[in-house]
């Protein structure tokens, strides 16, 4: 099956700093999504981004499908950005269905 690798596994930032999280995948994918799991365990969809660049406030994401990676940028980080960021790639699983495979996540801690 497809391999999804996220880096770095852990990241500690001072509030106000910028960061880039990376997601590499081993094969062609139909789509890619980024999620944030906050310290209370809630999983929030950040971006649905098969290719190109999208921005939402201080967050932006870029997927280069031909080179099999995606980047999540966090600018001017805040303590509320803390949590685990997951990348999930979508592949065809047969019989007309698709499924998401998740990376192991990047754990981000933003300290005041």
50, 65 Cβ separation under 8 angstroms = yes
7, 104 Cβ separation under 8 angstroms = no
Residue 97 interacts with other proteins (CB under 8 A)?
A: yes
Alpha-carbon gap, residue 51 to 64, rounded angstroms: 6
- Stretch binding other proteins (CB under 8 A), from 19-27, 56-64, 69-77, 82-90: 82-90
Q: Nearest approach, Cβ of 96 to other proteins (angstroms)? A: 6
Residue 48 interacts with other proteins (CB under 8 A)?
A: yes
Residue 84 interacts with other proteins (CB under 8 A)?
A: yes
According to DSSP, the residues that pair with 102 across neighbouring strands are 88
Residue 24 interacts with other proteins (CB under 8 A)?
A: no
- Candidate list 23, 61, 70, 105; residue touching other proteins; CB under 8 A: 105
Q: Nearest approach, Cβ of 11 to other proteins (angstroms)? A: 15
Alpha-carbon gap, residue 83 to 97, rounded angstroms: 31
89, 67 Cβ separation under 8 angstroms = no
The total of other beta-carbon atoms located within 10 Å of residue 63's CB is 27
Applying CB under 8 A, the residues found at the interface with other proteins are 30-31, 33, 35, 37, 41-45, 48, 84, 86, 88, 90, 93, 95-100, 102, 104-105
């Amino acid at each position: 099956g497809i391999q999804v690798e996220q880096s770095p596994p852990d990241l500690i930032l001072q509030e106000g700093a910028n960061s880039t999280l990376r997601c590499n995948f081993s094969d062609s994918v139909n789509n890619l999504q980024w999620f944030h799991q906050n310290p209370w365990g809630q999983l929030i969809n950040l971006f649905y981004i098969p290719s190109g660049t999208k921005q939402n406030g201080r967050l932006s994401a870029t997927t280069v499908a031909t080179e099999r990676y995606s980047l999540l940028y966090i600018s001017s980080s805040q303590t509320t950005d803390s949590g685990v960021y997951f990348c999930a790639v979508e592949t065809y699983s047969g019989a007309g269905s698709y499924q998401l495979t998740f990376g192991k996540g990047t754990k981000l801690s933003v300290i005041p």
